[in-house]
Amino acid sequence: MSKQIKVSIQHLYKIFGDDPQTALEQVKGGMGKTELLDQTNHVLGLQDINVEMADGEITVIMGLSGSGKSTLIRHLNRLIEPTAGQIMVDGDDVMSFGPEALRKLRRERMSMVFQKFALLPHRTVLENAATPLLVRGFNRQEALEEGRKWLDRVGLQGNHNQHPHQLSGGMQQRVGIARALTSNSDIMLMDEAFSALDPLIRTDMQDLLLELQTELNKTIVFITHDLDEALKLADHLVILKDGYIVQQGEPQEILLNPNDPYIIDFISDINRARVLRVRSVMDRDTSDADACVAEVDADANLESLIALSNGDTNLSYRVVKDDQLLGVLHMQELVRALVPTGAAEDGVRGKQ
């Protein structure tokens, strides 16, 4: 069954400068980011971006500082205007939207969670959470009730009447998430939402997001520079460098089949046993399933299988999901998967 596409980005370019259209022709002619800046004093922000974001999935866009990830997410609601390209949301051409349609998109169809929380300091936690509905003209009591529901859902019971400065950073970000959920939008944009948090709090917030996603099935676009965070959250991972896509796809597939030396550098220090899942290294041939010693979940990580097997590479396990047999995991194949792979033969920059 094919996935329903919620957001589609096609041939998106962004060039910053006085004459971006002229610079665009030079980029399409093969001029790179450094050369463009040196010769024309224009900055290449995004180059031929093509991404399809599926309904109900988390698309993570990651890259180092200056890679274009925050520029990209701000194109989805046209906080930044593209130099060229197409952005479709639910089949609607966002580039054709006038001011009123754009306001409706930002208020009702997309919500945003910021790195710096962006809470209103003079309003209570409850009023902050209810802001999306208050701005849209909802009855105040109704808006506050909805805000209260989501504050409680993210674990902020009893904090409704406090002000943002009275909360920790992690609690403030919970208010930001509650505010986004109060808007009841289908799409959540999260720009480095957890980057300012301490590591333990950051892990808690990632777990909260995954828990909420299991329940709500939002379409989430999540920006990060942290690969561990990206691998934990992503259904679809997009890796940017200098404004172009190096590689994109299912995170497990990228880990097992990096197509570029840049990606290999990115994943070289990853604990593969902790990140790779059983389903990614299993054999789909189940003819010898009866010889297996036990069943394991398809989404279990390889680290748990190493512990379960006590390191015995002669064992095999039936791989199941929702009581359905999917394949067989041979411990010898698991061990091979722990060895980092090189770039695919003739790997290029991976524009997709």
In order along its 352 residues, the chain shows pLDDT tens digits of 568 999 999 999 999 999 999 999 999 999 999 999 999 999 999 999 999 999 999 999 999 888 999 999 999 999 999 999 999 999 999 999 999 999 999 999 999 888 777 889 999 999 999 999 999 999 999 999 999 999 999 999 999 999 999 998 889 989 999 999 999 999 999 999 888 888 888 899 899 999 999 999 999 999 999 988 999 999 999 999 999 999 999 999 999 899 999 999 888 888 889 889 999 999 999 998 999 999 999 999 999 999 999 989 999 999 999 899 999 999 999 998 888 765 544 444 443 4
Sequence-ordered alpha helix ranges (H) in the chain: 20-28, 33-40, 69-76, 99-104, 125-135, 140-153, 169-182, 199-216, 227-233, 251-256, 261-267, 272-275, 278-281, 302-309, 331-337
d(CA 277, CA 252) in angstroms, rounded, equals: 7
Q: What are phi and psi of 323, to 5 degrees?
A: 70, 10
d(CA 186, CA 248) in angstroms, rounded, equals: 23
d(CA 68, CA 240) in angstroms, rounded, equals: 7
Spell out the domain ranges in the chain. 5-267, 272-337
Closest CA to 280 of 209, 343, 338, 222: 338
Is there a shared CATH topology between the 5-267 domain and the 272-337 domain?
A: no
156 CA to centre of own chain: 25
Residues in the chain: 352
d(CA 68, CA 18) in angstroms, rounded, equals: 19
| Contact call for residues 150 and 182 (beta carbons, < 8 A) | yes
Residue with tokens 């024309």: 40
Name the architecture of domain 272-337: Alpha-Beta Complex (3.90)
Name the architecture of domain 5-267: 3-Layer(aba) Sandwich (3.40)
> What pTM did the predictor assign?
0.88
d(CA 117, CA 194) in angstroms, rounded, equals: 10
| Contact call for residues 213 and 233 (beta carbons, < 8 A) | no
The DSSP call for residue 246 is E
| Contact call for residues 77 and 189 (beta carbons, < 8 A) | yes
d(CA 147, CA 181) in angstroms, rounded, equals: 8
